[in-house]
Amino acid sequence: MAKKLKKVDVVVVGSGWAGGVVSAELAKAGYQVVTLERGKKQDRQDYIGVKDELRYTDRYEMMQNLSPETITSRVKIEDTALPVRTRAEMMAGTDLGGGSVHWAGATYRWRAIDFELRSKTIERYGKEKIPEGMTIQDWGITYDEMEPYYDKWEKTAGISGEPDPLGDKRSSDYPNPPMLASPAVKLFKETTERMGYHPFQVAAGNLSQAYTNPDGEKLNACMFCSYCTMYGCDFTAKSDPLATVIPTARKTGNCEIRTNSLVRRVLHKDGKATGVMFTDTRTGIEYEQPADVVVLGAFSFTNNRLLMLSEIGTQYDPATRKGTIGRNFNGQFNITFLGARGFFENKKFNLYMGAGALGGTLSDFAGDNFDHSNVDFINGGGIEMRQYGDGAISTNHVPSGTPKWGPEFKKNSIHYANRSLVAWYTPAVMSWWHNYVDLDPTYKDEYGDPLLRITNRYTDHDRNMAKFGIEKCSEIMKEMGADIIDEDEVPEEFDHIYSGGHYAGGIIMGADPETSAVNNYLQMWEMDNLFVVGGSAFPQFGGHHPTSTIGALAYRAAEGVEKYLKEGGQLAEAKQETLNA
């Protein structure tokens, strides 16, 4: 029998941006909150002096230990899914602050059209533009309604940037100016401007100056230390939960954060969540944490899996295309982030310097900023050129045709170490009836519970988009003066590699309970006191990085939880949508 703990107002699962924002907001509002995190506790001190590429980039020090639990993956519904066994193939956050600690910080709002993609596409191009089997839908919330939450999250995080000249309306500027631009970033911006595009500096979760956020948390200016993506920031200069929402939640005195607490079930009775069951991973002791409201903010995978293991809602079945739990799995994988790499004979860049989100970008081929009448895809994405600060192990880019080992490889990899730049496209990803998640019939975690199974197949739509982006990036590289340009090839098939943390869907938002699991407050249609927060709510993926949308949704959800605690019941009105694509 699980040991029963004292009931609280809200129990939150996960301590990344999703769980962290909700915990902080409710604790600030005076509610008793318990936040459960499966990983260990960590703070800035843990990163001082460990700028170690092998350990963090190559051995995935900060990523989930897969020995007790991973996911399984397959392409087609008829296939047998196999486990994704190594951390080289599967990166998910763990430990206090989650993946939101080792993210790079590239920050983009999603576009107005993203939130109403289905209706706007039909409005502009007709119903035929949406191919059979594509299950995109509107979010049940508009950009204008999202805007205040974006604004709030950007201020909490201290985002440093300049507005996208082709972006949607903003109520205020980013709280901090853009970061300094390196010569490579300047070259990208100047070149693309000359080409008639509208470049701007990537908005960054790496701070351009010292800043105090509205909760009183102090952040420092980024030092361009280069050990950023896949690392924790030892200077408190990265916008992450450890520097912001976690201390904010703690200092209210209303939030207890418990690490080493692996949540394994959402407990419920008569259609209401009663709390969660978790195991202390150090002692193996099981606990029950009762609460009035349960919030899942444990990243897409766990959010989906916990609902399935707890038998909440109806599992999506691709045969009937009915059921909402596990529907519309989507994300950015190896078919996204493709582009062109340029090699420069007469230029050397200080590429070992950089920061997670240092870069230039443009939105000329994002959303509906260009005419889609003559392209065979919907939506679009940003084009980016980033300067992360390259490690010595990872910079081995050589022009194609170079052998991949031996003397010529050595010569070229050294020669080009500081002479190559890459631009890539970050396209949106549509949802399809055949991409979904459920529980695996074979593989189990250390407790004997089934693993999450992902079924994900690329389509011609994905490939068309990727090709389009590669062409644009190649043109840019050419204009930038590269002597050799290597274009990425479009992969035919999904390679089961889950890197970069952009996986979403399964517990999606919408206005219609037939086709969505949560309403626009991230509240479950089927269980009023259960909120599921994070990328799991994306009905399809936008054409930019996801995290600011996750942060904004978390503020929206926090507002919903508070509203629910005061008023109870369903917070949004269900509408019926006609979805016969």
Task: Return phi, psi of residue 157, to 5°.
Answer: -80, -15
Residues 226-285 binding ligand FAD (CB under 6 A) are 229-230, 262-263
DSSP-based three-state secondary structure for 121: helix
Q: Which of ligand FAD, ligand SF4, other proteins, none does residue 181 bind to, with CB < 5 to 8 Å depending on kind?
A: other proteins
265 binds ligand SF4 (CB under 6 A): no
Overall residue count recorded for the chain in this entry: 581
The Cα–Cα gap between 18 and 165 comes to 28
- Cα(481)–Cα(475) distance, rounded to whole angstroms? 10
Out of 8, 9, 15, 429, the only residue in the binding site for ligand FAD (CB under 6 A) is: 15
Asked if 466 is part of the footprint of ligand SF4 (rule: CB under 6 A), the reply reads: no
77 binds, among ligand SF4, ligand FAD, other proteins, none (CB under 5 to 8 A by kind): none
Q: Is the dihedral of CA 154, 157, 160, 164 positive or negative?
A: negative
How do strand 286-296 and strand 8-13 relate by DSSP bridges? parallel
CB of 569 to ligand FAD, least distance (A): 26
Using the rule CB under 6 A, give the single segment among 16-24, 73-81, 154-162, 558-566 that binds ligand FAD: 16-24
Among 223, 271, 514, 568, interactor with other proteins by CB under 8 A: 223
Strands 71-74, 450-455: pairing is parallel
206 is in the binding site of which of ligand FAD, other proteins, ligand SF4, none (Cβ under 5 to 8 A by kind)? Answer: ligand SF4
49-108 binders of other proteins (CB under 8 A)? 49-54, 57-60, 65-67, 69-70, 73-76, 78-89, 103-104
Report in angstroms the alpha-carbon separations of 27 from 179, 351, 387, 540.
33, 43, 38, 31
Q: Are 343 and 482 in contact (CB under 8 A)?
A: yes
Based on the shown chain and the rule CB under 6 A, indicate whether residue 422 belongs to the binding site for ligand FAD.
no
Between residues 11 and 351, which has the closer beta carbon with respect to ligand SF4?
351
Q: What is the DSSP letter of 399?
A: -
- The upper half-sphere exposure of residue 496, i.e. CA atoms within 13 Å in the direction of its Cβ, equals 18
Say whether residue 302 binds ligand SF4 (CB under 6 A). no
Nearer to ligand FAD, 103 or 200 (CB): 103
Is residue 111 close enough to count as binding other proteins by CB under 8 A? no
DSSP H or E run through 504: strand 503-506
Stretch that binds other proteins, among 152-160, 246-254, 346-354, 552-560 (CB under 8 A): 346-354
Residues annotated as part of the active site: 502
Task: Pull the structure tokens for residue 366.
Answer: 């994002």
Residue 207, C-beta contacts closer than 8 angstroms, at least 6 positions apart = 158, 160, 176, 219, 220, 221, 222, 237, 238, 239
Nearer to ligand SF4, 222 or 298 (CB): 222
CA-CA distance, 540 to 233, in Å (whole number)? 31
First to last CA, the chain: 48
Please name the helix (run of DSSP H) or strand (run of DSSP E) that holds residue 427, with its range, or none: strand 420-427
Query: In this complex, which beta carbon is closest to ligand FAD, that of residue 67 or of residue 212?
Result: 67
Residue 240, binding choice from ligand SF4, ligand FAD, other proteins, none, Cβ under 5 to 8 Å by partner class: none
- Minimum distance between the CB of residue 135 and ligand SF4, rounded to whole angstroms? 37
Residues 6 or more apart in contact with residue 275 via CB below 8 angstroms? 7, 11, 266, 267, 288, 289, 290, 291, 294
Task: Yes or no: say if 29 and 564 are a contact pair by the CB < 8 Å rule.
Answer: no
401 or 569, CB closer to other proteins?
Answer: 401
Q: Which listed residue (166, 417, 565, 581) binds other proteins by CB under 8 A?
A: 417
**Amino acid letter at 9?**
D
Q: How far apart are CA 107 and CA 436, in angstroms?
A: 27
Q: Closest approach of Cβ 452 to other proteins, in Å?
A: 12
User: What track of x and - describes contact with ligand SF4 for positions 333 through 362 (by CB under 6 A)?
Assistant: ----------------------xx------
Strand 255-258 to strand 450-455: parallel, antiparallel, or no bridges (unpaired)?
Answer: unpaired
Looking up tokens 């790079």 gives 104
Q: Nearer Cβ to ligand SF4, position 152 or 238?
A: 238
In whole angstroms, the minimum distance from the beta carbon of 262 to ligand FAD comes to: 5
233 binds, among other proteins, ligand SF4, ligand FAD, none (CB under 5 to 8 A by kind): ligand SF4
User: Which residue, chain included where needed, has tokens 């200016």?
Assistant: 221
Which one, 32 or 70, has the nearer CB to other proteins?
Answer: 70
Binding string to ligand SF4 for residues 219 to 258, with x set by CB under 6 A, is what? Answer: ---xxxx-xx--x-x-x-xx--------------------
> H or E segment at 409?
helix 407-415
Size of the site for other proteins (CB under 8 A): 109
Residue 356 C-beta: closest distance to ligand SF4, Å: 5
Question: For residue 35, what are the CA distances in angstroms to 97, 232, 239, 289?
Answer: 11, 21, 20, 10
C-beta of residue 293 within 8 angstroms of C-beta of residue 561: yes
Among 60, 103, 143, 149, binds ligand FAD (CB under 6 A): 103
Q: Which stretch binds ligand FAD (CB under 6 A): 121-129, 181-189, 423-431, 500-508?
A: 500-508
For residue 215, how many C-alpha atoms fall within 13 Å in the half-sphere facing its CB? 26
Instruction: Indicate the residue among 166 and 221 with the shorter CB distance to other proteins.
Output: 221
DSSP secondary structure string for all residues of 420-489: EEEEEEEE-B--BTT-EEEEEEEEE-TTSPEEEEEE----HHHHHHHHHHHHHHHHHHHHTT-SEEEEPP
Of positions 99, 140, 167, 232, contacts ligand FAD by CB under 6 A: 99
Is the Cβ of residue 104 or residue 428 nearer to ligand FAD in the bound state? 104
The residues that touch ligand SF4, with contacts defined as CB under 6 A, are 206, 222-225, 227-228, 231, 233, 235, 237-238, 355-356
Site of interaction with ligand FAD (CB under 6 A): 13-19, 36-39, 91, 93-94, 98-100, 102-106, 229-230, 262-263, 297-299, 302, 357, 500-502, 534-535, 545-547, 550
